[in-house]
Amino acid sequence: MEKAEVADVEVLQMTAKGQTLEDQVQELALRVQALEGSLEKLTARLAQATPVELASAQTEVKTRLPPVLDEPADVSEEMLSWAGRNALLPRVSTICFLLVVALILRTITDSGMINKLFGSALGMGFAATLMIVGWQRYARSSPLAPVFAACGAILMATIVVETHTHFKSLPLVPAYLTLMVTGIGMAFISRRFNAFTPISFGILGMCLAGAAIDYPHPHFPYLSLVLWTANLLGFMAARLKRCSWLRWIVMLVSMVMLQLWAFRIGVALRQGIQPPPELAASLFLPVLGVFALTYLLLALFGIIQSGTERVSRFDQSLPVINVLWAFSSAFCAMYTKDTPLLALGIVGIMVALLHLGASFWLARRAVIGVPGTAAFTFACGALLALALPVATGKLILSLPALSLIGIFMAIFSREWNNGSVRAVTYLFHIYSCAALFVAVRGDSPQQMDAVNILPAILLSCIMVYQYLWCRWWPPPPGSSILFKLDEEDRSAVMLLLAGLLCGFLAMRIGIFQVVQLTAGAGREEIFRCAQSVLINGAAVFLMVWGFMRRDREIRNVAIMVTLIGAGKVFLYDLLGTHGLPLVCSVFSFGAAAAVESVVLGKWPKTEIKPVQDLAAANETVNE
């Protein structure tokens, strides 16, 4: 410190005792001035310092730091310190000791030293004791609390399965009740101490152990109660911590077991025999309805409780998985050649409309992006795709209804500013087009029925209109994953392609009907070549339409249709037909190529800037 700084400090120290308020203010002003002067001098020194002086100053600062900040000299020492802090080794050793005790009890029981029933009771008592000890350890915030709770839940589930399956000493109802009490007890511990480990092991234990009891011939009503409880506890666990993996496991086990129940009932009915009493066939549909309603409510509550946060993938996927599983299970259990399924179709339509109503209810919430609406809209469309053909008995006649709901929800998606609903409507139309193609792809009288022309034309008009609507109203930027990847909504061209295909199928049916009425010999060749003429005519129409709109997207679609027509003419017609039909086919393609060449020749070219303008732009960017 220089002499001037020392003098300033001495002046401040001399004025530090017994002063008035004004004197203290003056003293503070002097202090601030002294600090400003010191800062300016320090800045000037740093600006004039050499690299060697800076390095020596850094070394001096490091030597003055406390030794606690130094890094461990060896990686193994760091790992050992981490293990000690997190009680890893004490937990491992505790698990080993508990496993030893369990193995001793099992050895004593297997050797016949004690009765198997008494040995099972002793093991279950030991498992219950571990869970109680886990409760006490959680109350003391012990790091060993998760070990005792998890080991107790796993041991209890194992003993229940083994005692009932192998030893035959534990009846079915007490076995299921023991599993349920264990899961509920673990959930209570987790709720009390806000811990995730007890409820996770309790749910897995009761779910997997319940499915393992008497597999593959369990008592389904009792098992359903256990699985239903596990799903509710899984929802509770998700509130403690995001654990979609746990809910996925419980849901899949539940659906597989109930699907097995439906399959066994359906096999018995299709064989013309009455299902055995142990299947409890009269309880299947009520139990299935309870599960379907439970999953619907769990998904709805999960979306609501997410608030402004991101909704989990499980809650987003649950509605559509639920409706597909529930309807297919009911259909599998009820379907026979002589059983009318109109009631099942009507119930399915009503449930689908219920999901659509849930979408509108979620959209009324004051949440940005209205999360959850796309999930329930998708579930509505998926269920209608299954239920409408069952209710009407005609797949083709039910497709326009699904497509109409698609355009209806697309319009509302713009009002909701939700791109996910808009993307879901694309799936509605793509499914409708694919289903129509599968239904009328052949040339049988049933497939070529004139009645099928009307739904095909309706589908074509709806899809082309939605394509134009999508070009009038672009999607909100970043409103869904699809439109983050496809900001210009190029995927909407699939609607145009689907509409063109539906229109082609409608015209194909019309050509078939006309050929059947007017043509004599050679009907097959006329029908085949007439389709080529139709394709080439569509290519000309699209090219002219795109030219009038100056729309490159429609132009590119026209070129693609032209290529399809070329393949149809030269790879199919030319090798399999002859005579006047073949002449018309080849001529149509030549005419289409000629018209398109003229249109493409008149297509406006992209303006190219002069070199001087580009150079000026580069200079501007450089500046």
- For the stretch 445-493, pLDDT in tens is 788 888 999 999 999 999 999 999 999 988 877 666 666 777 788 888 9
Distance CA(508)–CA(529), nearest Å, equals 11
At a CB cut-off of 8 Å and minimum separation 6, what does 529 contact? 573, 577, 581, 582, 584, 585
Length of the chain: 623
Does residue 616 fall inside a structural domain?
Answer: no
Q: Is residue 180 part of a domain?
A: no
Read off the pTM. 0.78
Supply the range of the domain harboring residue 47.
3-55
What's 338's DSSP letter?
T
Is 18 a member of any domain?
yes
37 lies in some domain: yes
Is residue 47 in a domain?
yes
Highest mean pLDDT, choosing among 28-32, 145-149, 432-436: 432-436
Instruction: Identify whether 515 is part of a domain.
Output: no
539 or 277: which leads in pLDDT: 539
Q: Residue 346 above 90 pLDDT?
A: yes
Looking at residue 448, its pLDDT comes to 86
The DSSP secondary-structure symbol of 312 reads: P
The alpha carbon of 386 is separated from its chain's Cα centroid by a whole number of angstroms, namely: 21
Q: What is the pLDDT of residues 499-537, one digit of tens each?
A: 999 999 999 999 988 888 876 667 888 888 999 999 999
- Give mean pLDDT, residues 227-245: 85
Is the pLDDT at 151 greater than 70? The verdict is yes
Q: Does residue 275 lie within any of the structural domains?
A: no
Q: For the chain, how many structural domains are there in total?
A: 1
In a domain, 525, yes or no: no
**Within 441-551, where are the H helices?**
453-472, 481-485, 493-518, 523-549
Task: Specify the amino acid at residue 286.
Answer: P
Contact, 345 vs 277, CB < 8 A? no
Q: What is the pLDDT of residue 24?
A: 65
**519 or 106, which is more confident:** 106
